[in-house]
Amino acid sequence: MNNKAGILGIGSYLPEKIIDNLYFEKTMDTSDEWIKTRTGISERRIANDNEATSDLATKAALKAIKCAKLKPENIDLVIVATATSDMVFPSTACIVQNNIGATKAAAFDMSAACSGFIYAMTVAKQFVENKVYQNVLVIGAEVLSRVLDYTDRTTSILFGDGAGAVVIGNVEFGGILSTYLGSDGSGKEFLNIPAGGSKLPASQNTIDNKLHTIKMAGNDVYKFAVRIMGDASLKALEMANLKTCNIDYLIPHQANIRIIEASAKRLKLNMDKVYVNLDKCGNMSAASIPVALDEAYRLGKIKKGDNVVLVGFGGGLTWGSSVVNWSIQGGKNE
212 catalytic per annotation: no
Q: Please report how the helices 218-239 and 257-266 are oriented relative to each other, as an axis angle in degrees rounded to 10.
A: 30
Which is nearest to 96 in space by CA: 11, 169, 19?
11
The interface region with ligand COA, picked from 43-51, 84-92, 212-220, 296-304 by CB under 6 A, is 212-220
- Interaction between residue 94 and ligand COA (CB under 6 A): no
Among residues 129, 222, 266, 273, which is the contact residue for ligand COA, using CB under 6 A? Answer: 222
Residues 237, 255: Cα–Cα separation, whole Å: 22
Torsion angle defined by CA atoms of residues 30, 33, 38 and 43, in that order, rounded to the nearest 10 degrees: 80
Asked whether the beta carbons of 158 and 282 are under 8 A apart, the reply is: yes
Task: With CB under 6 A as the rule, give the number of residues binding ligand COA.
Answer: 20
The interface region with ligand COA, picked from 10-18, 219-227, 266-274, 300-308 by CB under 6 A, is 219-227
Amino acid sitting at position 283: N
The interface region with ligand COA, picked from 4-12, 27-35, 167-175, 292-300 by CB under 6 A, is 27-35
- Interaction between residue 37 and ligand COA (CB under 6 A): no
**Smallest distance, ligand COA to C-beta of residue 114, A:** 4
Asked whether the beta carbons of 185 and 124 are under 8 A apart, the reply is: no
**Smallest distance, ligand COA to C-beta of residue 62, A:** 27
Residues 35, 202: Cα–Cα separation, whole Å: 32
Residues 315, 283: Cα–Cα separation, whole Å: 13
How distant, in Å, are the alpha carbons of 145, 297, 309, 313 from that of 327?
34, 11, 14, 25
- Interaction between residue 219 and ligand COA (CB under 6 A): yes
Pick the closer one to ligand COA by CB: 114 or 287: 114
DSSP symbol at 159: B
98 catalytic per annotation: no
- Interaction between residue 39 and ligand COA (CB under 6 A): yes
Pick the closer one to ligand COA by CB: 80 or 157: 157
**Smallest distance, ligand COA to C-beta of residue 101, A:** 33
CA atoms within a 13 Å half-sphere pointing along the CA-CB vector of 77? 21
DSSP symbol at 19: E
Pick the closer one to ligand COA by CB: 167 or 255: 255
Among residues 23, 34, 150, 173, which is the contact residue for ligand COA, using CB under 6 A? Answer: 34
- Interaction between residue 289 and ligand COA (CB under 6 A): no
- Interaction between residue 218 and ligand COA (CB under 6 A): yes
67 catalytic per annotation: no
Pick the closer one to ligand COA by CB: 151 or 241: 151
DSSP symbol at 156: T
The DSSP secondary structure of 196-215, one letter per residue, reads SSSSS---HHHHHTTTTS-E
Q: Which residues does the annotation mark as catalytic?
A: 114, 253, 283
User: Binding residues for ligand COA, per CB under 6 A?
Assistant: 30, 34-35, 38-39, 114, 153-154, 157, 191, 216, 218-219, 221-222, 225, 255-256, 283, 314
